Structure 1
Amino acid sequence: MFIQTETTPNPEVLKFLPGREVAGEGSHDFRTMEEAQASPLAADLFDIEGVERVFFGPDFVTVGKGPHHAWPHLKAPVLAAIMDHFTSGRPLFTGEAAAAGQDEAEPVYEGEVAQIVTEIKELLDSRIRPAVAQDGGDIVFSRFEADTGVVWLHMKGACAGCPSSTATLKAGVENMLKHYVPEVTRVEQTL
């Protein structure tokens, strides 16, 4: 098994491509060892000293490290954990975690607001999320405030905590959404 490694705009995060499907169409973000217990792979990665975040994308795994750890020391154990997981045939998730998504349920929208939200999600899915996935992350719709025009998005993977994420969110995502969906006045990041 050959696993490619790519840098991301976030110097604390590397993207690992195992050459096979990881999370399929979804994505999963693990920020703590407790969250990682839902996945044998995430738990194994968190067992490596210095690993502070794990993210599963459609066909990649991004791993975030602490600022006091160096990639030359972490890369080999991370590669070994990913390789061991995929060659063992173990499932990505345990039990109920396989069916459960990590994202919170979003509000229900009706009428014109529902149409606006549909347009926002279509733009995210077709133009924004594929570009962000190339950098090892994801941007997920959280909610739309119709009275203020504010779109709230959740940044995951390499995007979470990235020094350039604010610029990406404001200059890229906000400008595109405002251009195509005039009801959008601002884009903000949920924590």
Structure 2
Amino acid sequence: MMKISIKETKNPVIIKFEFPDFITQNESFEFKNIDEAKNSPLAQQLFYLPFVKTIYISGNFIAIERYNIVEWTEVQDAVAEQIEIFVANGGVIVLPNENPTKKQPTTVYGETTPNPASLKFVVNKALTKTAFEFKNIDQAKPSPLAQELFKFHYVREIFITENYISITKYDSSSWDEITLEIRTFIKQFIENGGTIIDENLIENNVKQEKQQIKNFENLDTTSQQIINILEEYVKPAVAADGGNILFDSYDETEKRVKVVLQGACNGCPSSTFTLKSGIENMLKDMLNDKDIVVEALNG
């Protein structure tokens, strides 16, 4: 009989029951009651348990949110056994989609970054023209993919740019445990026509305005030079490490350049060294000004 693994989450009322293989194909489900769970015979059966409040099905797991009438330690083993018996007897977890989206063959592979908490997942196709960084699921409304990825308890931050997704994890999980799960999920999501970025949901904000440098022509000459240097020499190197750099401002009096680090670069232990020994020295040399100072803002 297939063995279900029981995994705690950061939310004490939610617990995950993990399968050895994926049980959904780029689809995630959330059921609040038995009527909503019509396309999941397993979820319908689980709703007969009086303590089941919400059921989530995604990737290789089923997560259940309980009411406070019991503790998970009292019932989790029995729930896992019920799921194992259901599957062993040929029960259907989720009914197949009657109108499946045509798959788009996709290659996804993981690359390490200088930041041990971040991994870069490179895709063999364009994802977006504009880079986006999401700190939590509420910020991720323009990205259905990011919203789904945030449902994995170990995902802390997400950065999406032209052809890769940089994911920063919580320390509670190791990359050895979760890389395959994330890579497979991203691959299936894209292959099944999932939306990476919904342009209609993008809200103009200060960070995006700075990134696009719409007022470039109105900036002072030094700021323009700094932007050009960052774009031509720094961004490609930073992108190779799973991150991004944005020009924020230049103070002519203090000779202070402020930049925003995103993706794997944000919070990276080596980012300070990179700023001081790399970018700062480059700007001093190319602008012929030894008093230039570079400061990083939180992404």
Same fold, TM exceeding 0.5?
yes
> Aligned to 2:107, what secondary structure does the other structure show?
coil
Residue among 116, 140, 155 paired with 2:246: 140
> Aligned to 1:147, what secondary structure does the other structure show?
coil
Relative to structure 1, the CA distance from residue 109 to residue 45 in structure 2 (aligned partners, 3 Å threshold; closer, same or farther) is: closer
Relative to structure 1, the CA distance from residue 27 to residue 109 in structure 2 (aligned partners, 3 Å threshold; closer, same or farther) is: closer
Contact 2:109–2:183 under 8 Å retained in 1: no
Aligned-residue offset at 1:92: 1.8
Residue in structure 2 matched with residue 22 of structure 1 by the alignment:
127
Gaps of 5+ in 1: none
Amino acid at match of 1:56: I
Alignment of 1:28-177 (within 5 A): 28-94=132-198, 96-98=200-202, 100=204, 103=207, 105-106=209-210, 114-177=220-283
Amino acid at match of 1:2: T
Residue in structure 1 matched with residue 296 of structure 2 by the alignment:
189
Radius of gyration: which is bigger? 2
Structure possessing the higher relative contact order (Cα contacts under 8 Å, 6 or more residues apart): 1
Relative to structure 1, the CA distance from residue 110 to residue 80 in structure 2 (aligned partners, 3 Å threshold; closer, same or farther) is: closer
How well do the aligned residues superpose, as a CA RMSD in angstroms? Answer: 2.2
CA distance in 1, matches of 2:267, 2:169: 11
Residue in structure 2 matched with residue 9 of structure 1 by the alignment:
114
Amino acid at match of 2:140: A
Contact 1:144–1:152 under 8 Å retained in 2: yes
Q: Deviations over 1:145-189 (max 9, x none)?
A: 111110100000000010100001111000001111245620001
Amino acid at match of 2:154: G
Q: Deviations over 1:111-144 (max 9, x none)?
A: 7x62111110110011000001001001110111
Amino acid at match of 1:50: Y
> Aligned to 1:22, what secondary structure does the other structure show?
coil
> Aligned to 2:220, what secondary structure does the other structure show?
helix
Contact 1:57–1:136 under 8 Å retained in 2: no
Question: 102-111 or 37-46: which moved more?
Answer: 102-111
Amino acid at match of 1:137: G
CA distance in 2, matches of 1:182, 1:131: 22
Contact 1:22–1:58 under 8 Å retained in 2: yes
> Aligned to 1:103, what secondary structure does the other structure show?
helix
Question: 96-105 or 85-94: which moved more?
Answer: 96-105
> Aligned to 1:34, what secondary structure does the other structure show?
coil
The count of residues paired between Structure 1 and Structure 2 equals 189
TM-score (norm 1): 0.90
Amino acid at match of 1:187: V
Gaps of 5+ in 2: 1-105
> Aligned to 2:194, what secondary structure does the other structure show?
coil
CA distance in 1, matches of 2:193, 2:107: 16
Contact 1:48–1:77 under 8 Å retained in 2: no
Relative to structure 1, the CA distance from residue 13 to residue 110 in structure 2 (aligned partners, 3 Å threshold; closer, same or farther) is: closer
Contact 1:3–1:17 under 8 Å retained in 2: yes
